[in-house]
Every structure is written in C-alpha cells, then in structure tokens.
Structure 1
Amino acid sequence: MAEITNEQGFSPQDALVALMITVSVSDATIRTAELLTIEQIVDHLPIFAEYDADRMQSVSQTVFDLLEEEDGLDAIIGLVRNAVPSTHWETAYALSCDVAAADGNLRQAELRLLQELRHELEIDPLHAAAIERGARARHLSL
C-alpha cells in the first residue's frame, strides 16, 4: 500500500472527514443522506468539537483530486493512517460505517471499501462486527 505524508497539512479531523467523503463517493454517487450524516457527525461528535467545518470543502476537493489518481484510494487510506492516531482507527471505521449505512442500502463498492478499511486500519473482526451492527441499527428505518 502506498503511504503518503501529511504534506497537505491534514489534521486528524480532516483525515476523518476525507475518509467519510471517500466512503460516500465510493459507489460513484454522493447521496444526500450520506452528506447529511457527515454534516451531523461533524456538527455533533466530540472528536470534531474544535474542528472548523469550513475546511470540509477543501478536504473534499483533495479527496476528489486523489481519487482521480491511480493509487488515490491507497493515498487516502495512507493519509488516514498517518494523521489519525491508531487509538482512533476504530472511530474512523465507525464513522465510515455510519456514512455507508446512512441511505439504508450498502452497495458492493461500499462493502469492498469497508473490507479494505478493516484490513488497513487493523480492526479486530469482532470489533468490526459490533461497529457494523451498531451502524446498521442506527440507520434502520421503519
């Protein structure tokens, strides 16, 4: 896997936003439910308490630019691994699962990306199952 440096000046929160955007665009369509979920996460979770939400636009553009490159996904995952402390990789995975589950329909591209994230972020299989189950439960509709 290609590792990249944090030359973009990404904070851990920027990297988490980049990962959530990557999950949203992984199936080639950015859905409103996913964008609203990202916005709610950034607005309400303690990990984003000091985050400047105005940075989301530039982070999004960086994600789009990286995904145009051949190894863009590897670069984004490398950025997350470099910027986010390993103690928070489960948080990164949980946020990814929430975005993927936001529209109530997991697509193959999202499932493949989550599988790669589990591996690259070294998420224990039992922990991953619990995180996935929690995301599913939070995003069920009646």
Structure 2
Amino acid sequence: MNCLFYKDDANIEPGLVEILERLHSNQAQRAQEMYCSAKASSCKFENKVEEEANSYRKELWISRILNIPFLTLCDLAIQYRRIDKLEYALDILERTDSPKSQTYGSFIRFKAIWLTLTSRFDDAVCICKNELTELTYAEVEQFIES
C-alpha cells in the first residue's frame, strides 16, 4: 500500500481505489483495520486531512477495540504537526492499549514524539528507555537521536 502513495501521482488513484474497495468489502477484522488505516493514510495525498479524520472517526466508533487506526492517526498528526489530533489519539491509546499489546511499542514511540514536540525531550528519553523493552540499547539510542 505504501508504495502506491509514493508512486507517480497519475498512477496512485486507480490502484489505491481498488485496494480500498477490496479491503472495505472484506468483513474480516484485520481487513477492516487495514482499511481504516489505509483510508486515513490516503487523505494526506488528497489534501483532505480534516474531512478524512472525521469520516475516519465514524469508522472507528464501529469497531472501538481497534488501536491500529489510532496509531495511523498519530502518524498523520505528526506529519501535519497537528498536536491536537496527536493528543486526541494518544488519549484514546492511553486508555485502551496495554504493555502486553502488540501495538504498545508504537504507542510509546508516538508518545515520545509528542513529548518532544511539546518541549519535553528529557521526558521523551526517559519513557523510551523505560518502556521500549523490546528494543536493544542501540535501537533505543538510534530512535532518540532521530
């Protein structure tokens, strides 16, 4: 999916539409997660961030247990420097994610980026070192430096 986003603009639309339609028509939970994430990611290429975010939130209420779409919302909020949207998504993840979940590391990374964007770099470093236990010391240091 990501390779379509970075392809020649003239070729993006047909491939993207086809993939989104197939994902949306598949009722499997994973397909719906992928659809929500892909739909949100596609909005940056269509310059419809606010419109898509609203439609995206409606999709999320249908399946409230899914965290992957909120991770995508974090990613988009960071790309557009929308601290308010990032805080919204992080607030939901804070209440629904757990250290044992598959997405917890991504949540912590986004929280660290938010802390950095809000001038709390020392807190960001601390949370990375304490919470990103699945990463090696070198990987944590590399993330902090980037």
Same fold (TM over 0.5): no
The one of the two structures with greater contact order (alpha-carbon pairs below 8 A, sep at least 6) is 1
Instruction: From the CA coordinates, give the structure whose radius of gyration is larger.
Output: 2
Give the structure with the higher percent helix.
2
